[in-house]
Structure formats: C-alpha cells, structure tokens
Amino acid sequence: MNSEISILKLLLLIPLFILAGCSGNDGPERFDVSGTVTFDDQSAPGGSIVFTPDKSKGNSGPQGTAKIINGQYNTAKQGRGIVGGPHEVLIIVTNGEDSTDDADLSGPLAEHTEQFDFPKETTEHNFTIP
C-alpha cells in the first residue's frame, strides 16, 4: 500500500517537474526596444526589423525582431527583445495597410541595414531611412 502511494505521489509530481523545466528562461537576458521608422520623410506604413548581434564586434546571442506598424515598432508588443550591445539592424519597409497587423506582408519599398550599439536595458531608438 505504501509503495502504491509513493508511486501515485511520484506520478503527480512529474508534471510539476516538467512545467518547472519548461518555464525557465534559457539563454541570455533580452531587453525591449521601441521607436519609430521614417522612410522618405514619412512614417513607414509597415514592415519589419531584425536585430542581429554583431559577431565581428564580439557580440553574440539570439536575434531580436519587431513588426513596423504605422511607423512604430516595439519588440515587447510585436516581436522579441534584443541582448544589447553592437547589432546589425535590417529594416524592411513595406507599403502595407497602415492600420493592420499584416502591414509587413505586402511588397517591400526599401531594405536598409545599419549598425547600432544598444544599451543592455530597455531603450528607445528611432530609425530614419534615406
């Protein structure tokens, strides 16, 4: 009887161990970035941003991403945060509907790449595409 209770307790605890293992934050700490994207002297109607840690400058970690909607981007709301430090930033501007979440699905108007050294904290940075 005691062995049956022990097995039952073990079976009840297994899901808790699995959940505890899956809920942890693996990898480096990420920080949110938000701001505006201006293209051709106007708010970019849609698009996306990809933040890639610059390995040539000693930075590593996962990429960060964000959608551009009505000239605004925010990794906390529409993407994944960054690790901070030097990054190569790829910005793709599209002519999507200004008010939809699918603004980045239409054809590209421009692609722009630049380097930026982000702080290791939540920050705001605005991009202007010539």
pLDDT tens, position by position, 39-97: 999 999 999 999 999 999 999 999 999 999 999 999 999 899 999 999 999 999 998 65
Instruction: Report CA-CA distances (Å) from 128 to 9, 13, 24, 35, 44.
Output: 59, 53, 37, 11, 9
| Assigned CATH topology for domain 33-129 | Immunoglobulin-like (2.60.40)
Residue 73 CA to residue 11 CA, distance in Å, equals 45
Q: Determine the pLDDT at residue 103.
A: 46
**Domain spans of the chain?**
33-129
Contacts of 2 (CB under 8 A, 6+ apart): none
pTM: 0.74
